[in-house]
Structure 1
Amino acid sequence: MSAMVKRNLKIYFRDKASVFFSMLSVIIIFALYILFIGDSVNSGLKFLPHPNRLMRAWMLASASITTSLGAYGVMISDRENKAIKDFYSSPVSRRQVAGGYIVTGFIISIIMSIFTLIFGEIYLGLAGGAVLDIETLLKLFAVIVLSSFASSAIASFIISFLKTNSSYSAASTIVGTLIGFLVGAYIPIGSLPDNVQWLVKYFPCAHSAVLYRQLLMKPAIKANFANQPASVLKEIKEMFGIVFVYDGHTAPAWVSVAVLLVTGVVFYLLAVLVMTWKQNEI
């Protein structure tokens, strides 16, 4: 399986277009913030001393979790050009073939998330934001691994039903845009209707956003809310999805960690089962 993972990684990173489209949702979020979202949201935060720092950190946290779906293009290409049949004729089991694609997606998701974080940190530093310390960066790496585990699991399950590059492209566009809204990447969660907020809070990938925001926005929160009432900070945290509140109770970080772990395990198992079942049909 390791040989197959290496092969898939080489194919993926050799295709510059594939890498670009994996980052497309991130580019869209940055563009939306710079052109539209930043000014409109900042206008409501003028009472804070450094609203731009807060919003830039929020934007980076939202952008860091939208890179998983583009990691599975290699599998779709192998299906469409029938190259996958060559693997079936080898001594490698079909579950190992499926596992090779899934591990590839997981690794690519981690790599692209780290790249997004580095790019965002450079942007924040140039824009006057706080550069994160080593301890926070290590915690962020753990969140990246956990987030990639869950998001790539969901992506692998969706991709397991697709056979052609055209269907893959359509699904990537639709799902990528939908996830952007469901994790509060395009619009602050508090600005959404109540029923949509409920949907966001129960969407697994949104819990990745919560963990990212709690770490990335910590310096900006400290700089902006040192002299603000606790009630104002609580309202802002709920508005921007820094915490999730259920029936008046704020969910601690371990709840988000548990949701992501369970999501990853369940959807990876489902993806392997579907891939194996569909491969047995060939």
Structure 2
Amino acid sequence: MYDLLSLVKRNTLIFFRDKTAVFFSLLSTIILLALYFLFIGKQYTNGLEPFGEEVMTYLGTSVMMGGVLVINTISLALGVMGNIVNDLQQRKLDAFLVTPVKRYKIILAYFITSVLVTAVLSILMWILTIIYVGIRSGYWYPWLTIFQVAGLLIFYTFLSASLMIFLTTLLKSVNAFGALSGVLGTFVGFICGIYMPLVVLGDTMIYVASIFPFTHMTILLKQVLLKDPYSLVPIEVVENLEVAFGTKEIGVFGQEVPMIWLILASLIIAFLLLFFAYRNMSKKMAI
């Protein structure tokens, strides 16, 4: 256990010492926040002026952070995994392989580091969101919502880290990792309806998006975040907002699938990805 904790500590320190890596891990989140505040946010709150500035802020920030927090778990999880690529390319793992440390612990340490760093920073962002909304709008999220969102962020972090460690073990160079980092945030932003509602992109895009777990992650998080803000507007307005904000469940290929089944399927996929990542990494360390 001590050697595993030492590896986790080592990976965490390496990540935070590289200020450039930290910045680029947060870049997708920063860009998305800028887009929301400059352009997209106005689209979501357009027509809500009769309900007052406070309600508009509560609604607009909630739908905005539903997407930002998901992007954050993905981009951060990938950013931390940069340690794997660097260690492989610079042959730093050779030093570990001549020690009694088991190989699975080396791989597990990368995964645990990604989960811990991503979860802590994502929950910190959630706390800042709570404070921002409370001060700007005068409305505070219920305690149940606060804990539900925190729990979902930890779960999403586990899913994201599983996918990212799998993708990272497929890469062979730092350049390839940089290309993946640049493309992934944009891809997820569009496919999950974060940059704009899926309904705007048409039925075909909705069908395609429905096969990606991140799409359902975004929908579920928005549902939780907007539950209380929705109670402040008439029910007929809520029905329109559910479509505009992308909080209606889309199922899979147009077929209704309970959210619990989607969550279980995502968990199974995550464990499978971990297994394949372990296999890929073991082969690379054997070379």
C-alpha separation in 1, matches of 2:240 and 2:209: 17
Q: Secondary structure at the match of 1:6?
A: helix
Query: Which sections of structure 1, spanning at least 5 residues, go unmatched?
Result: none
Residue 56 of structure 1 is matched in structure 2 by 61
Offset of residue 83 of structure 1? 0.7
Higher helix share: 2
Q: Deviations for 1:167-191, whole angstroms, at most 9, x for unmatched residues?
A: 2111101112111112221111221
Residue 283 of structure 2 is matched in structure 1 by 277
C-alpha separation in 1, matches of 2:164 and 2:215: 14
TM-score of the superposed pair, with normalisation by structure 1: 0.89
Given the superposition, is the C-alpha separation of residues 129 and 211 from structure 1 closer, same or farther in structure 2, using an over 3 Å criterion?
A: farther
Given the superposition, is the C-alpha separation of residues 167 and 245 from structure 1 closer, same or farther in structure 2, using an over 3 Å criterion?
A: closer
1:20 aligned to 2:23? yes
C-alpha separation in 1, matches of 2:137 and 2:277: 43
Offset of residue 216 of structure 1? 1.1
Residue 130 of structure 1 is matched in structure 2 by 139
C-alpha separation in 1, matches of 2:138 and 2:80: 31
Query: Which sections of structure 2, spanning at least 5 residues, go unmatched?
Result: none
Question: Which amino acid in 2 is paired with 1:161?
Answer: L
C-alpha separation in 1, matches of 2:198 and 2:231: 21
C-alpha separation in 2, matches of 1:140 and 1:129: 20
Given the superposition, is the C-alpha separation of residues 259 and 234 from structure 1 closer, same or farther in structure 2, using an over 3 Å criterion?
A: farther
Residue 255 of structure 1 is matched in structure 2 by 261
**Counterparts in 2 of 1:71-110, with a 5 A limit?**
71-110=80-119
Tell me if the contact between 2:44 and 2:245 (Cα under 8 Å) persists in the aligned partners. Answer: no
RMSD across aligned positions (CA): 2.2
C-alpha separation in 1, matches of 2:254 and 2:191: 21
Task: Name the count of aligned residue pairs.
Answer: 277
C-alpha separation in 2, matches of 1:262 and 1:191: 31
Q: Which moved more, 1:19-28 or 1:30-39?
A: 19-28
C-alpha separation in 2, matches of 1:172 and 1:54: 30
1:180 to 171, 180, 189: 189
1:156 to 154, 165, 175: 165
Offset of residue 48 of structure 1? 5.7
1:196 to 184, 189, 205: 205
Residue 245 of structure 1 is matched in structure 2 by 250
Offset of residue 113 of structure 1? 1.3
Given the superposition, is the C-alpha separation of residues 169 and 119 from structure 1 closer, same or farther in structure 2, using an over 3 Å criterion?
A: farther
Q: Deviations for 1:189-240, whole angstroms, at most 9, x for unmatched residues?
A: 221121111122221112221221121111211112xx233xx534432442
Offset of residue 249 of structure 1? 6.6
C-alpha separation in 2, matches of 1:44 and 1:259: 38
